[in-house]
A and B are shown apart, each in its own frame.
Chain A
């Protein structure tokens, strides 16, 4: 039965970890702007990258 004490301790620890993760997310401003990131993630990076490389190689030549 005493194993339950270990389990309580562990579960509390896990819960505290989640609380810490939540604090971190607030601190880094994830609740400040909850719209722009949803747009940002849809930007297609590859197209511009290819173009960038092209211009770079163009400049080099």
Chain B
């Protein structure tokens, strides 16, 4: 009875702002409870501005403010930096687009579009939910970039400021072009088909003689923009391919389109017939539709990130006791910088002053902070947790231990050189066969009649135009891409799926990839705790957002929470509070027992507990492997060579061998550069490598491998440049994904066969020189549409059977 009552109470303790559980009901305004003061502040701010509608659109829409660190945005006053961040300014009105990773519900859209109510300098703001951006237009006289950013930060939507993300716009312009092209082609195809109708019904005797020529010339007029604008990508790609002596699929396509167009012109202007312009424009239209389908992109994800999008854009330097901010790229060797709690170390440096607890989780995937003392070297990429520290840089930003990885030639490589699509391999042979058939047919009829020979030659090229062939790949792989997306594997482009189907070797990173970040195995050793003591511990750790606190909290099932007073959290050390009159301390050995921790081990992290100054016991936290690792590996080991690259020492070799087969190559103490060269070595031996990693230290290996997949606990968090991002919760489906990529390749092959059958039927007409425009107008769309239907249906059916849909 009692327990039930408590349960109800704890259920009710939900933060009005963010919806998370509240440690107690102390922080409140009226009947509205808040989990932390941060959330309360945001509520008060919105309330003061009459923006409480925010809470009506979605319930508990806010961004949790626990552990939020108010940053110093003074660097935004720097004119040069500002110039790089904004989109456009005329000196008075400025437009700027921020990336807001916290965007998650309709309330977010609403508040981001109502910013003008909180700052009258903001003229207009528009959110893009899928891209998670907001573009803001503001008046320079009434507000400033810094004020806008501070406003966003104050309501919990801190923009992700970095200089590397402007690239996205390029793909947007390309996308727009494709929309224009599809419009032109669709418009022309539709109208030309209408104008061609009288010809399709040519046997019916309708007096159309005066109108026919008008239709023909109108057709030519409409076909011109299609050939000159909509189809030009195919000509350009074919030309580029031929220049490099590669016969890609665009070569036979361009050939088909050109022959269609020229023969139609010849027929129309010599008065023989009305040509094949309907087929030609429809063909181009279908091809662009296919391209569009293939171009599915995940707008809010970025696959091209390097360290620049992760590093801060400005640093605080200290010189003669005066603090100034400065763009990070101008940071020189030997300068002293201040790193505050939660900030990143931008370059390799030596600790001068302060207590450093460096969290390298983004670099290595290891979530527990490392302690450093004065004079220690601190590598770039770590995040300081705790108080402010003063460091002196000893390397340039781009020359640091981690960042110099990006100077490797692997990062200069153009992605296109990696593309060796299956369809291009097929088209090489296809093109030669078609040209020979056309030539033979032409030569065969030549003695009889030149006209017939010309007719047969061009007909073969027209009918063999591999429209269905060109459509099967984008539709199959495009569907696969979408199916993967639904299962939380986000792939950069369809080429990646083809490459995934061909891999022979899989390389895993250890920390953060096969071990779970944040969700560690936890054990308690020490004096037995009474239920009351367990309640004390659980009540205390509920206040902290540190991952270890969550681990400890999960250890006990107590649902009774006691009143917490004098709560203190010392970053990197521990937490302390008076609960129900008892002093409870949890943290490092030094913090809890005032003894220095001497025997540090990498295997597990130890957290000490004392109640009323009496030492109770130790929570030891060790990495746990991902839940479905065993299942994934037991499938993969039968088909692929497996390797593990780890930055840690080999203390876990034994545990790993319980899961991985004995022939797994395990390399420990690997630097980022060594990881990269290991992949290079594998590739030299003819292996096709799939690299699965997570941190910045895997960036080189991810880039060098044939397919690099990065694992993320939260896909909107940072992940290094890669070909795909896998949400950690779908790790167990890894084998299914690889298997399915092979299946889609087989579907492509089957659809190739179908399109060849159509080609043979068409060719039998063509070689006889009796291909009429009507047959072509029916056969071409029929083959294309049936191939599209076949591939999309089979892909989805198989996905359903495998549990992916």
Contacts and interface: CB of A to CB of B under 8 A. Distances in A.
A31 B109 CA distance: 18
Interface string A32-56: 1101100110111001100110010
B556 interface: no
Interface stretch (B125-133, B486-494, B539-547): B125-133
B210 interface: yes
Contacts of B180: 23, 26
B213 to A, nearest CB: 11
Interface in B168-192: 172, 175-176, 179-180, 183-184, 187, 190-191
Given A5-B214, A19-B187, A39 B176 contact: no
B113 interface: yes
A8 interface: yes
A12 B53 contact: no
Contacts of A39: 106, 109, 129
A8 B50 contact: no
Contacts of B224: none
Contact of A26 (B106, B183, B218): B183
Contact of A43 (B110, B117, B184): B110
Given A31-B176, A33-B129, A42 B106 contact: yes
Contacts of A47: 53, 56
Nearest to B56: A47
B191 A12 contact: yes
A55 to B, nearest CB: 6
B129 A36 contact: yes
B211 interface: yes
A22 interface: yes
B130 A36 contact: yes
Interface in A1-29: 1-2, 4-5, 8, 12, 15, 18-19, 22-23, 26-27
Given A40-B109, A40-B113, A48 B53 contact: yes
B50 A51 contact: yes
B207 interface: yes
A36 B127 contact: yes
Contacts of A23: 180, 183
Contacts of A36: 109, 126-130
A19 B190 CA distance: 12
B176 A26 contact: yes
Contacts of B50: 48, 51-52, 55
B57 interface: yes
A5 B217 CA distance: 13
A15 B211 contact: no
Interface residues of A, number: 28
Contacts of A22: 183, 187
A32 B179 CA distance: 10
A19 B184 CA distance: 8
A8 to B, nearest CB: 7
Nearest to B131: A33
A47 B57 CA distance: 12
Nearest to A1: B210
Nearest to B103: A36
Contacts of A32: 128, 172, 175-176
A8 B218 contact: yes
Nearest to B222: A12
A42 to B, nearest CB: 7
Contacts of B117: 52
Interface in B720-772: none
A12 B218 contact: yes
Contacts of B131: 33
A51 B51 CA distance: 9
Contacts of A51: 50, 53
Contacts of A42: 106
Interface in B205-235: 207, 210-211, 214, 218
A23 B183 CA distance: 8
Nearest to A40: B109
A43 B109 CA distance: 10
B802 to A, nearest CB: 28
Nearest to A47: B53
A35 B57 contact: no
B111 to A, nearest CB: 11
Nearest to A55: B50
A20 B200 CA distance: 29
Nearest to A51: B50
B179 A31 contact: yes
A7 B218 CA distance: 14
B112 to A, nearest CB: 10
A43 B58 CA distance: 11
A1 B128 CA distance: 54
Nearest to A27: B176
B445 to A, nearest CB: 38
B187 A15 contact: yes
Contacts of A31: 175-176, 179
A11 B106 CA distance: 43
Contacts of B184: 19
A35 B110 contact: no
Given A12-B218, A23-B183, A35 B53 contact: no
B196 to A, nearest CB: 13
Contacts of A43: 57, 106, 110
Contacts of B127: 36
Contacts of A48: 50-51, 53, 114
Given A1-B210, A48-B50, A26 B179 contact: yes
A4 B179 contact: no
Nearest to A31: B179
B272 to A, nearest CB: 23
Contacts of B53: 44, 47-48, 51
A1 B207 contact: yes
A4 B183 contact: no
A33 B214 CA distance: 41
Nearest to A29: B176
A1 B218 CA distance: 18
A15 B184 CA distance: 11
Interface in B105-143: 106, 109-110, 113-114, 117, 126-131
A2 B211 CA distance: 9
Contact of B128 (A4, A33, A44): A33
Contacts of A15: 187, 190-191
A2 to B, nearest CB: 8
22 contacts: A4-B211, A8-B214, A12-B191, A12-B218, A19-B183, A22-B183, A22-B187, A26-B179, A32-B128, A33-B129, A33-B131, A35-B129, A36-B126, A36-B127, A36-B129, A40-B109, A40-B113, A43-B57, A44-B53, A48-B114, A51-B53, A52-B117
4 smallest CB-CB distances across A and B, nearest first, come from A36-B129, A26-B179, A39-B106, A33-B128
Interface of A: 1-2, 4-5, 8, 12, 15, 18-19, 22-23, 26-27, 31-33, 35-36, 39-40, 42-44, 47-48, 51-52, 55
Interface of B: 50-51, 53, 56-57, 106, 109-110, 113-114, 117, 126-131, 172, 175-176, 179-180, 183-184, 187, 190-191, 207, 210-211, 214, 218
Given A26-B179, A32-B172, 14 more contacts: A2-B210, A4-B211, A12-B191, A19-B187, A23-B180, A36-B127, A36-B130, A40-B113, A42-B106, A43-B57, A43-B106, A48-B114, A51-B53, A55-B50
